[in-house]
């Protein structure tokens, strides 16, 4: 299943009902006006391979469970207002081929 809601000027937070889309492989939400957190359930979707949420107004951290399904291939969260550490499990499974994090405020571990 593919869900592409990009380029629609949608606003608000991502609905929790998206968590019911267990067969979802691609979720495109780029170039909208979503805000708030990227929900934890995005990391629990068992089949997501491509997640593109660039150019929104997401804040806070990336979900810690993002990438745990071991199937994530492409992740683009560029041009949001995300902060914090990049989750350790993001590359779990070794399948990640594209990771775009630019234009956010991520930090690395202190030495």
What residue ranges define each of the domains in the chain, with the CATH number in brackets?
Answer: 2-106 (3.80.10.10)
Q: pLDDT band for position 25 (50/70/90)?
A: very high
Q: Is the pTM of this model over 0.85?
A: yes
Residue 111 has pLDDT above 70, yes or no: no
Average pLDDT over residues 61-90: 90
Average pLDDT, the chain: 91
**Contact (Cβ atoms closer than 8 angstroms) between residue 28 and residue 56:** no
Which H/E stretch holds residue 41?
Answer: helix 41-44
Report whether 104 contacts 82 (CB < 8 A). yes
């Amino acid at each position: 299943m593919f869900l592409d809601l990009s380029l629609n000027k949608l606003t608000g937070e991502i609905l929790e009902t998206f968590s019911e889309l267990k067969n979802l492989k691609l979720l495109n939400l780029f170039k909208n006006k979503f805000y708030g957190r990227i929900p934890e359930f995005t990391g629990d979707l068992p089949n997501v391979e491509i997640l593109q949420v660039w150019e929104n107004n997401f804040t806070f951290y990336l979900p810690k469970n993002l990438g745990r399904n071991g199937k994530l291939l492409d992740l683009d969260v560029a041009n949001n207002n995300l902060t914090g550490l990049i989750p350790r499990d993001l590359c779990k499974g070794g399948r990640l081929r594209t990771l775009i994090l630019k234009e956010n405020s991520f930090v690395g571990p202190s030495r």
